[in-house]
Amino acid sequence: MSSSEPLDLRLPTPGCYADPERAGLDGDAVFDGMTEHLFFTLGKLAPSASRHDLYMALSYAVRDRLMTRYLASLEAIRARPQKTVAYLSAEFLIGPQLANNLLNLGIQNEAEEAVKRFGIESLQQIIEVEEEPGLGNGGLGRLAACYMESLASLQIPATGYGIRYEFGIFNQLIRDGWQVEVTDKWLKGGWPWELPQPDQACFVGFGGRTESYLDDKGNYRSRWIPSDHAIGVPHDVPVLGYRVNTCDRLRLWRADATESFDFYAFNIGDYYGAVEEKVGSETLSKVLYPNDGTDEGRRLRLKQQHFFVSCSLQDMLRSLDNRGLSIDDFPEYWTVQLNDTHPAIAVAELMRLLIDDRHMEWDKAWDITRRSVAYTNHTLLPEALEKWDLNLFGSLLPRHLELIYEINRRFLQQVRLRYPGNEAIQRKLSIIDEDGGKSIRMAHLATIGAHHVNGVAALHSDLVREQLMPEFAELWPEKFTNVTNGVTPRRWVALSNPELSTLLDEHVGPDWVTNMEILRKLEDRQNDTGFLTHWEDTKLSVKRKLSTYIHRNTGVLVDPSSLFDVQVKRIHEYKRQHLNALQVITQYLRIKNGQADGMAPRTVIFGGKAAPGYYMAKLIIRFINGIAETINADPDMDGRLRVVFLADYNVKLGEQVYPASDLSEQISTAGKEASGTGNMKFAMNGALTIGTLDGANVEIREHVGADNFFLFGKTVEEIADLKQRGYRPWEVVESVPELAEAIRLVEMGHFSNGDGELFRPLIDNLTGNDPFFVMADFADYLRAQDAVSLAWTDRHHWNRMSVLNSARSGFFSSDRSIRDYCRDIWKVEAMPVEITCDVPDIVR
């Protein structure tokens, strides 16, 4: 059908109009879409188009095919209002979008056909062009991305709210073994997946003062008169579900100045002053996680948090106004999930909007707030539980400080009634921390203002109730619950591991992609030699791909038939990459000393970024690279041991690493990791775990079976007992000869070109204080690693354990997590989007 012929697309409500030439899903339609966008959008002719041009053209063509679903989903919620999830997160580590959208639309083969008509050998060459969106950093942001994808796949109406960062946290280079941070200019080539909506911008205030007045009913009220403003401009990113019509929305806010250019300042020669407001306002969305080591850095972080939270809540209230719905019914139409404490200011901001802007009485506003907001705690680490200096907070958000004081006053009155005369518990539960300099405890604000507080793994949730917030849990036991994290099998298996996906399709059918419990059928094949050989061959093929990447990017040749022993995650002392590094030294010494009988040939792979201001984490990276340089240059290690640090670890690299891994290192100190999600991605792809009883490791071990998990390390209770008895790590070193030998080698400068002082701070920390019990767990860790080597020698047994890890990983799908949230916290139901039209095959 030509575009000149009229198309009567009678789509029932909810519905939208679709151009059939931009909605077709066959290879010809995709090719035509690419050709059209090359010419009209990019101003290029096909013969002169670069791969980046073809990537942009294909992305625009795919985005066209999302629009029918995207607009129909928006129309559905307008026509049939029901509760929508608002997921507030400072990070959304969504990863590259092209391949994921092709998978969810089901047109990977059609896109392959289309790009080949442009002379491209494979679709992968175009996919590799895409920059990683710099919208997140680690597990928190990746979890948010998985949850948004599962929400859409389960047909739950949802909007993710965050910040459109112009620059990501940083790109990581390794120079002379050290991490070097360079600017992540991820937007430099354009980003075809966003839809700017300047007509829906919001104003946000900062600073200034408050003043009291009497309203027309004689009621005492307070108004905020900000000294500065910024404009939040929304950029919408469609989030398509897997093979469904539902297309949810990620709404990211970009900061603009209220006045971009001061002509007067320019005309009198103050050229910087002419654009000062623009520069200052737009800094809000410049960079993910500005360094909070300075007052200005902390101020910027708080401004960022208030900026995106205020814009998001204003947007929710406006959506009710636009649909003619009462603000009184806000909790019936929006459920606001706080992803950690970064958006916790939402409790005070929603109160401000309801009381000051909508002129509600306190009790009614507080009832709406408490019924709308839920809070996910992601950490037990004190330094990660945000607190803001009272003076800083008051200078930036004076009205919010007044509201927090009142929230706290009313809350503490409840505490006094429950615990009369107990001032100690009042001080402990107060939102205002008065120990040292006064500060605002954001986790307390979120907990008081939320109807539910959840941890992210069974152990973590227990520790939140019993150790982090026991008094809150005693006050409101019904508030506290658990939702164990999950990851989407679409990106982390179907997309990143097509070889395994094909094998799974053959043996359990294709429905496992949306129902991971189907993988349980693999248990019937656990003793099938032919199937296990096929399984091993599939793993070997993806290991060869990663081996090629490693050689191309590091120059290190690795043996794909060796055991790929992998630890990829943010570099932090509690995650204990240095524990892994020390056991690598021990393996190295065993080989050098002729004691390597039974040792499995290994390629030990590290990856992850350290926060720019975190010296010890950066020293750990240098330590790993020093070890790698020494081992990889030693001929005695050939065929036995290799060590690799993969720079700039991100989602794109993770898509290559997880499928190729044999052993997953989940070795954090018990009680420190809230959940972890990398452990789940590894298990889904058939890697075995060596780990402590920490975070979701506990549940992974329960599900895959203790015989298919290499457990080591002290438990939470044992660590607490060790602390109480007085932990002396230097005594542990003296009692473990292999550990003492490894440390002596480090102190001699063996891994630092003879510089015995380079790693002195690291060794002194481990032997003198050891806050994360590396020394205490070393001997048991080494025992578990020996068990790994022994298991690797029996390939039939190893492959069987690998199959069972995949087969029993269904619980860790983010689809299960979202169902738990919908049932237990949000009380939200699916809303399938129906799209019908008179022209067949336009929308599948």
- Write the DSSP assignment of 269-287 as a string of letters: T-HHHHHHHHHHHHGGGTB
Kindly state the tokens that stand for 262: 């001061």
Active-site residue, 569 included = yes
Distance from C-alpha of 308 to C-alpha of 92, rounded to nearest angstrom:
13
Tokens of 571: 């570099």
User: What token pair was written down for 619?
Assistant: 């020293």
The conformational region for residue 817 under phi > 0 = left, psi -120 to 50 = alpha, else beta, is alpha
**Are 86 and 312 spatial neighbours (Cβ–Cβ below 8 Å)?**
yes
d(CA 753, CA 92) in angstroms, rounded, equals: 41
E runs forming strands in 429-532? 432-433, 439-441, 452-455, 480-482
Catalytic residue among 569, 578, 672, 703: 569
Angle at 683 between CA 680 and CA 685, to 5 degrees: 115
- Yes or no: say if 776 and 727 are a contact pair by the CB < 8 Å rule: yes
Cα(56)–Cα(164) distance, rounded to whole angstroms? Answer: 20
Largest CA distance in the chain: 89
Residue 765 region by backbone torsions, left for phi larger than 0, else alpha for psi between -120 and 50, else beta: alpha
Say if residue 112 is exposed, middle or buried (CB neighbours under 10 Å; 0-12, 13-18, 19+): middle
Whether 575 is catalytic:
yes
User: Is there a catalytic annotation at residue 672?
Assistant: no
Contact 306, 229 (CB under 8 A): no
Q: How many CA atoms lie within 13 A of 440 on its CB side?
A: 28
Long-range contacts of 266-275 (CB under 8 A, 24+ apart): none
Query: Which amino acid type is present at position 479?
Result: K
Rounded distance between C-alpha atoms, residue 149 and residue 242, angstroms: 8
Q: How many CB atoms lie within 10 A of CB 362?
A: 14
Give yes or no: 188 in active site: no
Q: Does residue 543 have an active-site annotation?
A: no
In this structure, what token pair is assigned to residue 112? 């392959």
Where are the alpha helices (H) located in 794-841, listed in sequence order?
A: 795-807, 814-821
| Catalytic choice (22, 681, 701, 703) | 681
DSSP category for residue 435: S
What is d(CA 409, CA 425) in angstroms, rounded to the nearest whole number?
14
Residue 570 known to be catalytic: yes
Is the Cβ–Cβ distance between 661 and 687 less than 8 Å?
A: yes
Active-site residue (options: 575, 576, 609, 618): 575
The structure tokens 């507030």 sit at: 88
**If DSSP codes are grouped into helix, strand and coil, which group holds residue 669?**
coil
Residue-wise DSSP of 752-790: TTT-TTTTHHHHHHHHHT-TT-HHHHHHHHHHHHHHHHH
Q: Which one of 84, 538, 677, 767 is the catalytic residue?
A: 677
Q: Which of 387, 441, 570, 672 is catalytic?
A: 570
Of these residues, 378, 576, 618, 701, which one is catalytic? 378
- Supply the residues annotated as catalytic: 378, 569-570, 575, 677, 681
